[in-house]
Amino acid sequence: MAVVVSCAVLFHAFLFLQRILLTLGQYDICKSLVSTDDGPTWEYYACQPRPMAMKDFMQIRVSPSDITCGNPPQLFCTLENPYLCSDECDASTPDLAHPPQLMQDSEHSGLITYWQTVTWSRYPEPLLANITLSWNKSLEVTDDIEITFEYGRPTIMVLEKSLDKGRSWQPYQFYADDCMEAFEMPAKWVQDLSAANVTRVICTERYSRWVGSKNEKVVRFEVRERFAVFAGPKLLNMDNLYTRMESMKGLRDFFTFTDLRLRLLRPALGGTYVQRDNLLKYFYAISNIEVLARCKCNLHAGQCTFRDGSLQCDCEHNTTGQDCARCERGFKAKSWKPGSFLPTPTGSPNTYCECYGHSNRCSYIDFINIVTCVSCKHNTRGQNCQHCRLGYFRNASAELDDENVCIECNCNQLGSLHARCNETGFCQCREGATGQKCEDCQPGYNWKQGCVLNVCDDELLLCENGGTCLQNQKCVCPPNFKGVLCEEALCEGEVGCNGTNPPTQCAGLLGQLRRVSRATGSLRSLSPSHG
């Protein structure tokens, strides 16, 4: 027995720990001081406030106005004790009153306290009640919404939500003991939802069938099971969920609301038909409404506080407003954007339009986990359009969001190796070329569709024996000489030769030596001695 108990304790400790882990550790800081070569600077991240028990901040309204029991005082009984109708609801006696605020009190004493309605004495007119929960603030639900019913759960009800502080409403989930009969909808289980239909509004019979009023008191809106579609059954892969939140249209909004409304349409019946002879056992009673959620701050705040009667994000990243949905005064020039869960794990604040105004489209690349700008304009490129395209360099005196930030390298096609240049606009030159754009030639070279090594010139590579240098490329030799520098006498057999062969051979060698030294620069000191 002792073993069983400790296992149970361990198991609950584990569940508790897992709940904590789920809610902590991710996207909880907005910025941090990091050291760089230029000294410490702020780095900014996507951030969101911790989840809170939102029942502490909700405004409850019930309608119709005379639905709460006790005015005038009345008797009621229960489904499990239908003939002992001696319990009393009396609004004027604190111990016997069941006002709406008992749905959100904290029950420290261990005593269950609950709101209770009048009984169904007007049957067959339906017993209808609306409970509206308002926060005057966008919230993002982080855990199951749990509504605890005393004396049995309703056989028909609808949970609705509003995203605009009650101006418009939409159904969130339908609940009935027979979905077809009540709503003409097939009964579904949240477990059956897949990635493709996780935001589908379903009707469930799971919380409406009679199992005894003590056994199952809770009606749930299943948030964790929906998260699990992406994060796995133990919600360990939250990164995947956050990634989907970013990329899947409507997913974040599905978990967002400013108000909730419970429309109670038919009370618990005890598993049978309505018994007209004892209507005092039909009513609604709710002891608790648990809503674990965080303030929606568009990933621009790590804290949310209750000020001036409503929750407000403590905005960072130069944003402001209740949901950090605007730029702070003085930051209007940069258009506002929500932060992004991506790239994981820190996300990005998107403080500046992250493409520096060179693109207005971003896309998420799944397999390398980055958000990147699409179709950067103004000759920019890169994840944030923060670099210059190939063949352009950064204008050092222009801001990154300037249209003129990238200047064309303009490298001379013939003089340079490629179109790229360095940060100051210098191109990489081919052999012999020089200048910022490689449009000039080094000494010893001359421009001829690029810089070409001189064959002859007026300084070192002189044409010999009276030859003349033609455009540095060719010695035009007198009739009886040949060779690159006209250094070889033209011998027609043995006849024409007058015994000067040895010296001309020597001159030919010298010419070759000079050319080699021009090219390498290493033998330069040899040449002038013979010049």
Residues that bind ligand NAG (CB under 6 A): 44, 63-64, 128-130, 136, 188, 192-194, 196-197, 200, 202, 263, 309-310, 312, 317-318, 322, 349, 351, 395, 397-398, 402, 404, 407, 422-424, 426, 498, 500
**Token match 């944003």: residue?**
319
Per-residue contact string for residues 234-273; x = within reach of Ca ion by CB under 5 A: ----------------------------------------
DSSP H or E run through 508: helix 501-520
Q: Which is nearer to ligand NAG, 31 or 474 (CB)?
A: 31
Instruction: Bin 423: left if φ > 0, else alpha if -120 < ψ < 50, else beta.
Output: alpha
Q: Shortest Cβ distance from residue 112 to Ca ion (Å)?
A: 6
Q: Shortest Cβ distance from residue 101 to Ca ion (Å)?
A: 9
Angle between helices 224-231 and 238-247 (to 10 degrees): 90
Q: Shortest Cβ distance from residue 87 to Ca ion (Å)?
A: 17
Per-residue contact string for residues 274-303; x = within reach of Ca ion by CB under 5 A: -------------xx---------------
Q: Shortest Cβ distance from residue 53 to Ca ion (Å)?
A: 13
**Token match 């002038």: residue?**
528
CA angle 53, 55, 56 (to 5 degrees): 80
The gap between the terminal CA atoms of the chain, to the nearest Å, is: 111
Contact 355, 373 (CB under 8 A): yes
Q: Shortest Cβ distance from residue 211 to ligand NAG (Å)?
A: 24
Q: Which is nearer to Ca ion, 287 or 322 (CB)?
A: 287
Tokens of 328: 């702070």
Q: Shortest Cβ distance from residue 137 to ligand NAG (Å)?
A: 7
Burial string for 398-424 (b: 16+ CB within 10 Å, else e) reads eeebeeebbbebbbbeebbeebebeee
Q: Which is nearer to ligand NAG, 37 or 95 (CB)?
A: 37
Q: Of residues 102, 203, 264, 373, which one binds Ca ion by CB under 5 A?
A: 102
Contact 381, 395 (CB under 8 A): no
β-pair type (292-295, 203-204): unpaired
Q: Which is nearer to Ca ion, 243 or 288 (CB)?
A: 288
Is 142 a binding residue for Ca ion by CB under 5 A? The answer is: no
CA angle 512, 518, 521 (to 5 degrees): 125
Contact 163, 138 (CB under 8 A): yes
Q: Which is nearer to Ca ion, 102 or 301 (CB)?
A: 102
Q: Which is nearer to Ca ion, 55 or 220 (CB)?
A: 55
Is 105 a binding residue for Ca ion by CB under 5 A? The answer is: yes
The piece of 104-112, 131-139, 241-249, 351-359 that touches Ca ion (CB under 5 A) is 104-112
Contact 299, 349 (CB under 8 A): yes
How far is it, in rounded angstroms, from Cα 281 to Cα 405?
77
State the DSSP code for 119: P
The option from Ca ion, ligand NAG, none interacting with 202 (CB < 5 to 8 A, set by class) reads: ligand NAG
Q: Which is nearer to Ca ion, 147 or 202 (CB)?
A: 147
Is 116 a binding residue for Ca ion by CB under 5 A? The answer is: no
Q: Shortest Cβ distance from residue 389 to ligand NAG (Å)?
A: 15
Contact 177, 207 (CB under 8 A): no
Q: Shortest Cβ distance from residue 264 to ligand NAG (Å)?
A: 8
The option from Ca ion, ligand NAG, none interacting with 105 (CB < 5 to 8 A, set by class) reads: Ca ion
State the DSSP code for 109: T
How far is it, in rounded angstroms, from Cα 457 to Cα 400?
49
The site for Ca ion, by CB under 5 A, has a size of: 5
Chain contacts with Ca ion (rule: CB under 5 A):
102, 105, 113, 287-288
